[in-house]
Amino acid sequence: MKRLENKVALVTGSTRGIGRAICQRLAEEGAAVAVVGRSPETVEKIAQELRDAGFNARGYAADVAKSEDAKATVAKVVADFGRLDILVNNAGITKDNLMLRMSEEEWDAVMNVNLKGTFNFTQAAVRPMMKQRSGKIVNLASVVGRMGNVGQANYAASKAGVIALTKTTAKEFASRNIQCNAVAPGFVMTDMTAALSDDVRAMFLKVIPAGRAGSPEDIAGVVAFLASGDADYVTGQVINIDGGMLM
């Protein structure tokens, strides 16, 4: 029996990169997957690809920054699948700039998606999880949220907020058998990092003891563990997935 068999997982920001890899891994582990993203066409495309591979998946379009979208999406998932066991808050954006040049719009956009979006979906998902008296929430933080980074005041602050939100959620819902943890990826090869120059990539690789960048699949594997019964006694934790970069 696969360790996530008969479980239902909702993954935000799941149409590419880390989110897409998480959907794939959770499906391989036996979960039915709700693919959530902003574009109706794209979420349905990813869901169809999963169905074509023999998995149970549906697409849901939502803006994570809108509380009403989060509540409506969770309600649809529960109506369609009958329950919700796993929430992965993966949706995130960057709008990098030096602090002196960062606009209010750049600050607000990143905070609204990365931090408020995580709060919105967590608040919506814990309700059915409380009724079931079981649930797993995995939030995507970042090593940048633990160490800061030049030109990323908004992103670093949002991810530090995700870490604090993770710990608070874990404390508030532990008695209801709901575990909440976070993973903090380091330098991972995605569409976002692929746009960096060779010099910048080389700079990152110099400070990674493992000597390589991470892959979306590296992140997905740890998320799958935290979403499973193997992590029933793990809550309020932040696991760095960074090849040893931040020890």
Active-site amino acid positions: 155
Name the pairing type of β-strands 8-12 and 57-61: unpaired
Place of tokens 């920001």: 13
The answer to whether the beta carbons of residues 121 and 89 sit under 8 Å apart is yes
What tokens does 73 get? 């999406």
